[in-house]
Chain A
Amino acid sequence: MPSERMSDEKRSVQFSRRKFLAGSGATVAASLAGCFGGGAGSSGSDSVKIGFVLPFSGTYSFLGESIVNGVKLRLDEQLDGEIDGRSVEYVRKDTGADPATGASITQEFLQSENVDFIVGPVSSAVAGAMKPEIASSGSAIWLNANAGNYKLVQDNCTKYHFRTSFNTWQTSAPLASYINDNIADNVVLSYANYTFGQQSKNLFREEFENVGGTVVDEIGAPLGTSDYSSFLQEIENSGADAVFSFFAGSDAVNYIKQFSSFGLNGKMTQTGSGFLLSADTLQAQGTAALGMYSLLHYTPTKQTDRNQAFVDAYSGQYDTTPNVYACQGYDSALAAELAVTEAGGTETDPMVSSLAGAELDSPRGYFKFKSSTHDPVMDMDIRQVVEADGGVQNEVVETLTQVEGPTWGCDL
């Protein structure tokens, strides 16, 4: 139960802070300072402090919880709460989906909590608001565990930002040549009409036209649409042989279910960014998703020893299969582990140097932080939905190795 975990954790954070203050023989004045958030001593040189800036309420709370689970699987379960002899502490605050909240939590974590790492956020809009705080402070490493907006790297890129997730180019464009070679040379685009959907659609379109394909039409539906039937009619009328889409969460479930119930799956091949058909939506999409293609950097059913070990550990701990967000959380923990170990401490600049260009042993496959952007260079899976015991699952049909993508003028 999420809230139970949360309150346990709050308690343990408070407790450890109190213990620290008492143990160091702090004066009354110092402990007051600690209580009021000025506890400069809370992040002692012998500990590693991680601040979660994630949604724990609202639509994306499930994603936030998955990321935290991934981080803790590595640090608490596999490393017994210690990195290189330093104990790990956590603070967490709920961003909801609000950029301003994300920015103020970040500021608080940097200034009062003296965190060494910031893990989050889920939303790119929140990430945009957090970036100036982190760039100007320079006192913590930002492990961006989900926000994919490529513009975070394009506009004023900062060396403190390390993406442990993906960028929008990676989850859309690389599918273009596969579709053109194996599925159809003409597509219609359908997408949730907000920043992420538009970016995915535009980046895919550019690449698809580069490889010689034709985009017949594009159809945007408002974020949070629950009935796609009239948009589906437009898609059908386009006459394209395939469709590339960006939808996520409940939008993805509504879109895919309705796509197939109107029989479009018999007329055109559905493809899309991996969030369209991911582990957390497939159960609800069911047989409506059969045969559809998507592209993502993590697939729980991927048949590698590394991934199997991760899936076993995660399911053993949380009683559920890991999703892409859990993997991104886990990789954030791997990055923190590597940074502290290599730099021999929590000084920010040495940690930046150790992470830039470093490789992580990620469940997703090959993973490296590109030196010039700190974006991931990683393997991307092209998957197709197939029948499985009691439902459907993604099967990897091809793995694109070490996918990099543009640098958007960033040169760190």
Chain B
Amino acid sequence: MAIEGVAKTVLLGVEMGMTLVLVTVGLTLIFGMMDVINFAHGSLYMLGAYFGLTVVTVTGNWWAALLVAPLLVGLLGGLIEYFSIRPLYGRNPLYHILLTFGFAILLHGLVTEIWGGQVQNIATPALLEGSVDLALFSYPLFRLFLLGVSIAVAAVLWAAMRRSDFGIVMRASAHDSEMVDALGTDVKRVFTAVFVLGSILAGLAGVLLGTSRAVDPGMAASIIIQAFAIVVIGGLGSYRGAVVGAFVVGMLNAFGPTFAPQFTDALLYLLMAAVLLVKPAGLFGNPEGA
């Protein structure tokens, strides 16, 4: 591989990895805080894409979709948490798995009913069309934008969790929610807020990736499998793990077709198996990993 090839593949890996962070962070935060394994997370991502599609169709403005669709998904996520997940806190985690799995099936059916089963796509905004010349190679502008947004979101979240009051409450609740509750913070409201935040991020990823990729009812299942694998590799519940895991998987996706063309789809699971053998809790899997 020539130097340009390597450089481009590295950039591809970083971009694919960081984009996945938008999905995996929500998944891992929700688990880390509430011990809820959210199978509907991929469906919220899918809804982001479909809401985005409708907003673009109605207003003709992609930027409006980027703003409105994630908020709508956040609202829906809040309603799901408040009315269905909240009553099940404290029970066996299996209840949450069954519940969110049910939502995944329900939302799949609803989306097919409302938007149809055919493949669609959100048109790229004119401002972000074309490629940028990066000296060694040129790269699609939209994908650079995706990378920028993902890095910004990951950085803001990280800073917020380290520095803000809400971040401190979040980390404390993840560590010992009963104690936080006893100290006078309404943990249930924190849980709802985190679920809404995770949903907004999933919705944002839906609009962004629904523009560079196909939008169809199968997109929920395909992202959730990969996202879970990443979160398991990084350590369930760990923010750092979700970011590092996504980064590693991005690199794997980028270099896989060159070095192991016949095994690209198996690589992710081989990596997951290898990590679990060495570190059963994942790379950063301990309660304080966040």
Total residues of chain B contacting the partner, CB 8 A: 41
- Report the nearest B residue to A227, measured CB to CB: B16
A257 within 8 A of B: yes
Within 8 A of B (CB), among A41-72: 58-59, 61-62, 65
Assembly CA distance A222 to B256 (angstroms): 11
B138 within 8 A of A: yes
Assembly CA distance A252 to B265 (angstroms): 18
Within 8 A of B (CB), among A246-272: 249-254, 257-258, 261-263
Chain B positions within 8 Å of A27 at CB level: none
With A222-B265, A250-B119, A281-B119 as contacts: A263 and B12 at CB distance below 8 Å: no
Q: In the complex, what's the smallest C-beta–C-beta distance from B80 to chain A, in angstroms?
A: 23
B140 within 8 A of A: yes
A104 within 8 A of B: no
A219 within 8 A of B: yes
- Report the nearest B residue to A281, measured CB to CB: B119
A233 B219 Cβ-Cβ under 8 A: no
B255 A230 Cβ-Cβ under 8 A: yes
Chain A positions within 8 Å of B253 at CB level: 227, 230
With A220-B262, A222-B265, A234-B257 as contacts: A253 and B143 at CB distance below 8 Å: no
Chain A positions within 8 Å of B257 at CB level: 219, 221, 230-231, 233-234
B258 A62 Cβ-Cβ under 8 A: no
A309 within 8 A of B: no
Within 8 A of A (CB), among B249-289: 253-258, 261-262, 264-265
Chain B positions within 8 Å of A222 at CB level: 264-265
Chain A positions within 8 Å of B116 at CB level: 62
Assembly CA distance A251 to B8 (angstroms): 23
A230 B256 Cβ-Cβ under 8 A: yes
With A219-B257, A261-B142 as contacts: A227 and B120 at CB distance below 8 Å: no
B167 within 8 A of A: no
- Report the nearest A residue to B114, measured CB to CB: A1
A2 within 8 A of B: yes
Chain B positions within 8 Å of A405 at CB level: none
Chain B positions within 8 Å of A220 at CB level: 261-262
* Stretch in A15-23, A282-290, A366-374 with 4+ CB within 8 Å of B: A282-290
A229 within 8 A of B: yes
- Of A234, A257, A281, which one neighbours B212 at CB under 8 angstroms? A257
Assembly CA distance A292 to B214 (angstroms): 18
A284 B119 Cβ-Cβ under 8 A: yes
With A229-B12, A230-B256, A253-B121 as contacts: A262 and B140 at CB distance below 8 Å: yes
Assembly CA distance A231 to B16 (angstroms): 13
A284 B121 Cβ-Cβ under 8 A: yes
A233 B264 Cβ-Cβ under 8 A: no
Chain A positions within 8 Å of B209 at CB level: 226
B213 A227 Cβ-Cβ under 8 A: yes
B117 A65 Cβ-Cβ under 8 A: yes
- Report the nearest B residue to A237, measured CB to CB: B5
A280 B258 Cβ-Cβ under 8 A: no
- Of A59, A252, A263, A283, which one neighbours B131 at CB under 8 angstroms? A263
A258 B265 Cβ-Cβ under 8 A: no
A85 within 8 A of B: no
User: B106-146: contact bitstring with A at CB < 8 Å (1 yes, 0 no)?
Assistant: 00000011001111110100000001000000111011000
With A62-B118, A230-B253, A261-B142 as contacts: A250 and B261 at CB distance below 8 Å: no
Assembly CA distance A132 to B244 (angstroms): 50
B119 A253 Cβ-Cβ under 8 A: yes
Closest 3 A-B residue pairs measured CB to CB? A62-B117, A222-B265, A253-B214
Taking Cβ atoms with an 8 Å cutoff, the residues of B that contact A are 5, 8-9, 12, 16, 112-113, 116-121, 123, 131, 138-140, 142-143, 209, 212-219, 222-223, 253-258, 261-262, 264-265
Q: Known pairs A253-B119, A253-B213, A254-B214. 15 more at Cβ < 8 A?
A: A59-B216, A61-B117, A224-B222, A227-B253, A229-B254, A230-B254, A230-B256, A233-B257, A250-B119, A250-B214, A250-B216, A261-B212, A262-B140, A263-B138, A285-B121
